[in-house]
Structure 1
């Protein structure tokens, strides 16, 4: 198990470029299975989860060439359908939650799929029902075998239909869309997720020949086609990294410029950080965060305590609530963090309390943070990263803390953040890999 040793309390300075979006990558890389023609994807992040998916596709028979540091070509001409019953597939597919994204394309093109129960973060119950209920509406039949841990799906005759999703799941919507693009007839998906990464997937599919309308709304209409072709696609920058770097600048009183952020695709992310009192400035397509010795949390108009909660897009993404919580520990004022979607994602606050933060964990979904206004620094401790987002939040806390911190299980962080230690060292951080 790897670890980072961090000597905190140092202001950082410089420019940083966000990686390509992890969540988009898992969707669009899976979409290459929809065609036998070549697809080129650029701005792919070099992170564990994405690399595992690429390796899984290669094992399935996809011809993959790396033509630049962040650019790959994919050609899914000869897929080995027998591989899906192998021990290797169970091992590799089961270790990656993103492996669920290959089911929709496989059903659409080959009429069947098998997938081991996916892995990923241990942040609470994450339902797969939306995916499979959508497949069932399209005419698929599936069963779960508890003995071998496999979902087996048969979809030899997918038919377009009306689907009302039980939740606006991003991955669920993406999976059903990919299944529907080759189904017979018209599919209407209501309560569809509409975040930028899902829009990116739809735009890519349209360039491949799919017929999709309503992109960017919660009502998608898909007219099935008989086949799709190749295309080129570039990933958006990762909005979670962008938010993480805004929080990092505030916590460490650093002057940081975040480059090429696609500002118009960030939704309310900049505004939520502004509610915490963080000054940030849009400069073209960059975000400039000046060094701030203090930042003060706003209150509501009636003077009541600020509440920041996650919600489906265009609401605030749950992946940044851990960052917001950490940033609030050094703000002036108080805030209630309400994590609605995952019941275990706030449990990392015990590490922050050990570091000196004033946090009341109200229940598994809510925490009240009483900001220290940088009157008292956090202190370095030893801790373990429980998941990707909490891990980076603890890393930010450690960079702001006085003394030395050690973070174990950094493999969790590196599932979602590309070469994070090297990139932060370039800004002046004191990080050593153990």
Structure 2
């Protein structure tokens, strides 16, 4: 009897191991977030591009905060007519601001969240827009995960029959209540990107950690999606190294004197390598990729569509900078980004000539120029990041000669992809 039990236990263990080692391959469904509150023509244009490029969109429906005595709600001005016209696969999200509790299933806080969720879904329904999924985006403190389940039970029933999904943080994966938590939803999104809360960490999305988190999540045996970043930002840190606030496209905080400001950005090359890796081999529990955020033409701190399209295909975007010349004499010089990704310009441009004399020269803002022995060298002078998006041009200066000449130019150190 003992031997039989040991044999059965061994079979079960081997079966579990084999299931954990199962891998699948092939394209992953990919959707993107539209997180703008104000729906401008640029947002509507991005929605049309997303419909051509992606498998669906997740729209920010509203944000709710309980910092004051009464709930404070910021609704997104969604153009439902444009949504109905331009996309066939639409989901919505409700963002809940940091909240310390208490978490009860039927108190005023829970009712406010449920009421707002129903309003968002009713509004979509009134415009004949089918919502495929409702996401709850809330960064719950780990010590509250057990009580947070009560919210999920209530909200899941309220949005039924719409599919109910929650966003989760990698730090939750080891919590004893995490498995029970995600079972309260139809699925969950694992966010493998975040703005560092202290200045000791210097990456927005660590590819090595992302691989570890996906592996750990897969072992739980439940399906999940992974959220990846497309944005970059500036973060301000106090003297103690703790995060004060973040500058994004829609937010530019006023930092106090002495604030340490760090730049963070999604690295398209690293993330493309991750996507390619998962397309070749991934755990079957990883069902989808979600991109935060969809490129908007007016955004300054986000990838362009050409960058995102390359990364979605698992391909590193092309990096290519050219020096342009305009005019015969004087000659205006510019740097043109002929590649597919934003570039951070740390390069110098060297112009050389023969058989003529340089009579005048000048460098434009953030650049310097010096000339010697038949050559002129332009260098960046600003300590701030000089960013050039795909298709962008940056004028750097001009050169005048005593006669027309054939100018040769060279861009040294090319550039560095924006990190």
* TM, length-normalised to structure 1: 0.24
Q: Compare relative contact order (CA 8 Å, sep 6+) and give the higher one, 1 or 2.
A: 1
Instruction: Select the structure that is richer in strand.
Output: 2
Instruction: Select the structure that is richer in helix.
Output: 1
* TM, length-normalised to structure 2: 0.25
